[in-house]
Structure 1
Amino acid sequence: MKWTQVIDPFHNIALSVLVAAVPILFIFWALIVKKMKGYQASLIATALAALLAVLVYGMPLKLAVLSIGHGALYGLFPICWLVIMSVFLFNLTVRSGQFEIIKHFMASITGDRRLQALLIAFSFGSFLEGTAGFGAPVAITAAMLVGLGFNPLYASGICLIANTAPVAFGSIGIPITVASQVSDIPEMPISQMVGRTLPILSIILPCYLVTLVAGFKRATEVFPAVLVSGASFAFLQWFSSNYLGPSLPDVIAGLGSIICLMVFLRFWKPKAVWRFANEPAPTFVTTTYTSGQVLRAWSPFIVLTIMIIAWGLQPIKDVLNSWVFFQFEVPGLHNAILGQDGNPIPKIFKVNYLSAAGTAILIADLIAIPLVGLTYREGARVFVDTLNQLKFPILTIAAVLGFAYIVNDSGITLTLAAVLANTGSWFPFFAPVLGWLGVFITGSDTSANALFSKLQYATAQTIGVDPVVTVAANVSGGVVGKMISPQSIAVAAAAGDLVGKESQLFRFTVAHSFLMLVIICFITLAQAYAITWIIPTYEMLTSKKAVAVPDLSAGYAYLLILALLLVVFSVVVRRIARRRKETSALAG
């Protein structure tokens, strides 16, 4: 069975766009107006998209069902796999009592909720985005803030908003790598162009977050700290993206802003510590923890950081994939859909369960269980509780990815893109909207770049604008769509204990998403016509690189170093714990 995608089913692009927008408009209506639960809105939107695909676009029913199934399968792996393991890690620290020590540590740096939001949601979240991505940063940071005493809605909402600036360079730069592969523009100029757009957002974002948490007046009271956080992050993001490439900006900028803010707070404190209204008085002042206890409490997140950095290294990925990696053509769907160019669209499902980020977090979980003082039997119970906690988010994420795949495969997404591509000289203004739309639908800047980078390139050439401007705009526009993507909402709701209240979270973030999108649209328009000197010079990729057989020796060496590092760290933490027990026994 072969079927060709249709872009204009009514032979009237205006009417086709109105009909194609129905499932997406439904999601907005369901979450904002009707306040539906996330899984209900996602399932109904998927059914609507399938009806349009079959009845309007002429997609065979079999292909529509297979497309939804393919998306749902991808939602379960690797997305849900990662989310489950991330929340499991956090739950282990809570069940063991170690999170109480983490809360004390954060309060010892600062008891001010405004500054805690900067450290965790913005800086630590950016670091995690650079290493793991795909939902892990929001899941971990939202859960941490809730554990510290933040209102769950605010915790999840500000973590979603904070996750905008780093998304373009997430997962060791994968979104930009994909944009390069699809558009044939080298990675470096795309990285440079994005790195000359997003630092503007990065320097604004900390103030924006603190204003959301405490109001503008209270935000001005910590403006020096906000400036240090935002300026250090923006500078390091600009520098690394322009001179080192797309792999490390989030890691470098995230760590750099954490260090800069912690050092700054040693010399400067706000006049008054701000906490939420009606919040119980802090009790940590009566408890003193040793540095060893603090190290043990943080050990799960330290192991997590080591693991996801290691798993992001290509030599290690190559080794892991050489051990266990298989892929299969989706039966009945592979090459069954023909694109507008007449070429069949491959549908291959890759099962890289060893090199997946979720597996790195699982290993961190297993290492962390004895480090935090739990038995593996107790850890297993925590895991069962975590699965029960996430049952509705898992359903939501599977439904959302099924929705994303059916709208892409049927041509619905291409219909919406076509109208934006016909805006002529105004296209640079609307180029970020394509990225925003792609991320809203798929939940991934990587997927949005795979969808629209070629369209961005071709349209820019047609109107005489440098294609790197619009391809980079697709990347930059996508980052502000992340906070309202149903997939991201589901992840944040799960981490923030807001399951069934996804509509509240969506309404919390949607206005901020539109505002930031407009800012990026104007920046892109200026880059295209007014400040063209900002565009990097580059040469197009003239030919595809030959796929070389990877040299696995480096990967094995890295894995050996990783194993030794984890063993040494585990021994140190266990000895600290044992010494603490012996001291307590003698004191008793």
Structure 2
Amino acid sequence: LGGLRWRAHVAGLTSWAVALVIAVSVYAMPVSMALATSVHGLVYGLFPIVWILLCAIWMYQVTVISGRFDDLRSTFFLISDDPRVLGLLIAFCFGGLLEALAGFGAPVAITAVMLIAVGFSALRAAVTALLANTVPVAFGAVGLPVLIAAKTAGLPVSAVAPISGRICALLCLVVPFLLLAVMDGRKGIAQCWPIGLFIGVIFGAVKWVVSGTDLYNLTEIFAAVISVGAAIAFLRVWTPIGGQEAVPRVGRPLDADLEGEAVPVAPADTTGLTRSRILMALVPYILVIAVFSIAAVPAVKTSLTATDVTVGWPGLSGLLTTAGTTSPHATFTFSWLSNPGTLLALVAVLVGLIYRVSPRDLFGELWANVVKLRLAMVTIGSVVALAFVMGDSGQTLALGLWIAGAGAFYPFVAPVLGWIGTYVTGSDTSANLLFSSLQASVGDQIGHKELLVGAGAAGGVVGKMISPQSLAIAASAIGIAGSESTILRAVFTWSLLLLVFMCLISGLASTPVLAWILP
């Protein structure tokens, strides 16, 4: 993607083929098993991952064809007429809320199109959405990644969640400034640093506190909601300068060949907005919050997951983990009702009914998006197939074992395992399944067991933005097929910088310098 600038679906299929050959020829994986786990990965990539992406974009498109999205854009400008401030609120705060409730790429898809609506160029919107979708990942999907990290390592979640939360809380002090740099360069930082600092401090402080309580799984929900409310109050006493001058800059294409000429954005007209129009414009996102919040209630969640259908996957009945237990890939769970994509589909239908969109237009838009996302489906399916083959054959573990050879210096590189795992699999949860037991084993040898597991889970958040899955989702959301390589080159340096930052925090936390951040 980055060096040869291949199209994402070609790069994905080629990489899977290389991993398949290595699995069979070097790691002695039976051909039939390697093919079976590849097909399993392909199917998992289509459902639930592509299904979630498809329904997230479908929900957005329903608001567009109904004409209500223009009102939403105008509503944003009631908060501030500065696109950089709106970028922080949409990508960082609202995106964090979506990650907490849904995850699986939905925050990137939804916030990218929202940013375009307030005047961002397509690629700038994608890069902003990906960079913002870092901080909340460890506690995304109602705390699932950090819970899995603790379970896999054989530790109580109360020992791991505060460490991941505090490392990511410190990350909150950095990411808003990087977002301002992406949105508007040095002027963005110079003119909007107070709101960036304020949001970062509030978001981070809430993460620091809540992640250490029994409500750790609601960490991102509390952080997102409180930071939005605090930011709106802050904007009543502080007004950024240079907002109007920034409008053409945030709308300037990052790659004119891909994006074409900048599209002039007309100033938002808020004079005709009434309370009812504002409420109707917010309906889709109120429904997203309501539906996912209800689905997260333990009794409701249990009822939904009770409808899951689990079947053995042909050809993988003998597949084992390194611990000698049956691999989770030996079965496939069809979560047809509890899946976030299905919940987003429900929201899309409800929005269509409320906005009085005809069934023909409603489901016609769904089919139009299926056609539009066909190459993204190939990309995501092949990348997940790649992840399954690398994981089940032992290739990903080999990378982890190699890094674990760092010895006493290991706390400084512990986040790298999470970074690699999330990059390969596209999921911090999957990365924790792969590496948390290894982190715990190294911790048994050199000490700092809880720190290593928590740092690994935190490290995965900065690998999310460069995952081919995330790149394909972002490219599809902005409607520029084949832009994955351009997006990767734009975000890769940020990912490395944030990884180095997290490695320093993790390493120094194992010394008296930052040991005070540990619970």
Quickly name the TM-score band, shorter chain normalised. Answer: over 0.9
2:268 match:
284
For the structure 1 residues 338 and 109, does the alpha-carbon distance in structure 2 shift closer, same or farther, using more than 3 Å as the test? closer
The answer to whether structure 1 residue 103 and structure 2 residue 73 are counterparts is yes
For the structure 1 residues 319 and 221, does the alpha-carbon distance in structure 2 shift closer, same or farther, using more than 3 Å as the test? same
Report the Cα offset of residue 148 of structure 1. 2.4
The answer to whether structure 1 residue 529 and structure 2 residue 516 are counterparts is no
Structure 2: which amino acid aligns with 1:345? S
1:298 match:
282
Report the Cα offset of residue 281 of structure 1. 5.6
**Aligned partners of 2:50, 2:323: CA distance in 1, in Å?**
34
**Aligned partners of 1:213, 1:533: CA distance in 2, in Å?**
34
Instruction: Select between 339-348 and 426-435 the one with higher mean Cα deviation.
Output: 339-348
1:460 to 416, 423, 443: 443
> What aligned pairs does 1:2-13 form with structure 2 within 5 A after superposition?
none
Report the Cα offset of residue 287 of structure 1. 4.7
Q: Secondary structure at the match of 2:212?
A: helix
Q: Secondary structure at the match of 1:266?
A: coil
2:388 to 384, 402, 405: 405
Report the Cα offset of residue 344 of structure 1. 4.2
1:275 match:
247
Report the Cα offset of residue 283 of structure 1. 3.5
CA contact (8 A) 1:179 1:450 kept: yes
> What aligned pairs does 1:388-427 form with structure 2 within 5 A after superposition?
388-427=371-410
Report the Cα offset of residue 70 of structure 1. 0.8
2:252 match:
none
**Aligned partners of 2:392, 2:188: CA distance in 1, in Å?**
48
Report the Cα offset of residue 271 of structure 1. 2.6
**Aligned partners of 2:506, 2:292: CA distance in 1, in Å?**
33
The answer to whether structure 1 residue 160 and structure 2 residue 130 are counterparts is yes
The answer to whether structure 1 residue 316 and structure 2 residue 300 are counterparts is yes
1:430 match:
413
Bigger radius of gyration, 1 or 2? 1
2:202 match:
232
Report the Cα offset of residue 279 of structure 1. 6.0
Structure 2: which amino acid aligns with 1:207? F
**Aligned partners of 2:320, 2:351: CA distance in 1, in Å?**
48
1:132 match:
102
**Aligned partners of 1:281, 1:136: CA distance in 2, in Å?**
25
Structure 2: which amino acid aligns with 1:429? F
1:504 match:
486
The answer to whether structure 1 residue 147 and structure 2 residue 147 are counterparts is no
**Aligned partners of 2:333, 2:385: CA distance in 1, in Å?**
17
Instruction: Select between 218-227 and 185-194 the one with higher mean Cα deviation.
Output: 218-227
Question: Could you tell me the TM-score, scaled by structure 1's length?
Answer: 0.83
2:259 match:
none
**Aligned partners of 2:107, 2:421: CA distance in 1, in Å?**
20
**Aligned partners of 1:527, 1:268: CA distance in 2, in Å?**
36
**Aligned partners of 2:90, 2:214: CA distance in 1, in Å?**
25
**Aligned partners of 2:137, 2:326: CA distance in 1, in Å?**
30
- For each residue in 1:126-159, what CA deviation from the matched residue of structure 2 results, as whole angstroms up to 9, or x when unmatched? 0111111111111110111122221111101111
Report the Cα offset of residue 244 of structure 1. 3.9
> What aligned pairs does 1:66-145 form with structure 2 within 5 A after superposition?
66-145=36-115
**Aligned partners of 2:39, 2:20: CA distance in 1, in Å?**
12
Structure 2: which amino acid aligns with 1:487? Q
**Aligned partners of 2:102, 2:469: CA distance in 1, in Å?**
16
For the structure 1 residues 210 and 253, does the alpha-carbon distance in structure 2 shift closer, same or farther, using more than 3 Å as the test? same
- For each residue in 1:271-314, what CA deviation from the matched residue of structure 2 results, as whole angstroms up to 9, or x when unmatched? 33121246636332375111101111111111111111112222
Instruction: Select between 109-118 and 260-269 the one with higher mean Cα deviation.
Output: 260-269
Report the Cα offset of residue 340 of structure 1. 4.0
Structure 1 runs not aligned, ≥5 long: 1-30, 537-588
**Aligned partners of 1:344, 1:509: CA distance in 2, in Å?**
37
Structure 1: which amino acid aligns with 2:488? F
**Aligned partners of 1:251, 1:188: CA distance in 2, in Å?**
18
CA contact (8 A) 2:198 2:231 kept: yes
The answer to whether structure 1 residue 213 and structure 2 residue 196 are counterparts is no
**Aligned partners of 2:450, 2:301: CA distance in 1, in Å?**
29
Structure 2 runs not aligned, ≥5 long: 250-261
For the structure 1 residues 201 and 353, does the alpha-carbon distance in structure 2 shift closer, same or farther, using more than 3 Å as the test? same
Q: Secondary structure at the match of 1:328?
A: strand
Please give the root-mean-square deviation of Cα atoms over the aligned residues, in Å.
1.4
CA contact (8 A) 1:191 1:245 kept: no
Q: Secondary structure at the match of 2:166?
A: coil
- For each residue in 1:422-469, what CA deviation from the matched residue of structure 2 results, as whole angstroms up to 9, or x when unmatched? 111011111110010000000000000011001000111111x22100
CA contact (8 A) 2:83 2:118 kept: no
1:35 match:
5
CA contact (8 A) 2:79 2:232 kept: yes
Question: Could you tell me the TM-score, scaled by structure 2's length?
Answer: 0.94
1:353 to 336, 344, 367: 336
**Aligned partners of 2:339, 2:436: CA distance in 1, in Å?**
25
For the structure 1 residues 341 and 285, does the alpha-carbon distance in structure 2 shift closer, same or farther, using more than 3 Å as the test? closer
Structure 1: which amino acid aligns with 2:498? M
**Aligned partners of 2:452, 2:509: CA distance in 1, in Å?**
10
**Aligned partners of 1:240, 1:532: CA distance in 2, in Å?**
20
CA contact (8 A) 1:187 1:245 kept: no
- For each residue in 1:166-211, what CA deviation from the matched residue of structure 2 results, as whole angstroms up to 9, or x when unmatched? 0000000000110111111111121111122111111221111011
Instruction: Select between 38-47 and 313-322 the one with higher mean Cα deviation.
Output: 313-322
**Aligned partners of 1:41, 1:467: CA distance in 2, in Å?**
37
CA contact (8 A) 1:142 1:496 kept: yes
**What is the total number of aligned residue pairs between the two structures?**
503
**Aligned partners of 2:152, 2:24: CA distance in 1, in Å?**
28
CA contact (8 A) 1:86 1:140 kept: yes
**Aligned partners of 1:340, 1:233: CA distance in 2, in Å?**
38
CA contact (8 A) 2:83 2:119 kept: no
Structure 2: which amino acid aligns with 1:321? T
Report the Cα offset of residue 267 of structure 1. 2.5
2:472 match:
490
Q: Secondary structure at the match of 1:520?
A: helix
CA contact (8 A) 1:311 1:357 kept: no
Report the Cα offset of residue 218 of structure 1. 3.0
Identity %: 35
**Aligned partners of 1:331, 1:415: CA distance in 2, in Å?**
26
Structure 2: which amino acid aligns with 1:359? T
**Aligned partners of 2:135, 2:516: CA distance in 1, in Å?**
23
CA contact (8 A) 2:74 2:270 kept: no
CA contact (8 A) 1:131 1:170 kept: yes
For the structure 1 residues 341 and 109, does the alpha-carbon distance in structure 2 shift closer, same or farther, using more than 3 Å as the test? closer
For the structure 1 residues 340 and 280, does the alpha-carbon distance in structure 2 shift closer, same or farther, using more than 3 Å as the test? closer
Structure 1: which amino acid aligns with 2:359? Y
**Aligned partners of 1:497, 1:75: CA distance in 2, in Å?**
20
Q: Secondary structure at the match of 1:271?
A: coil
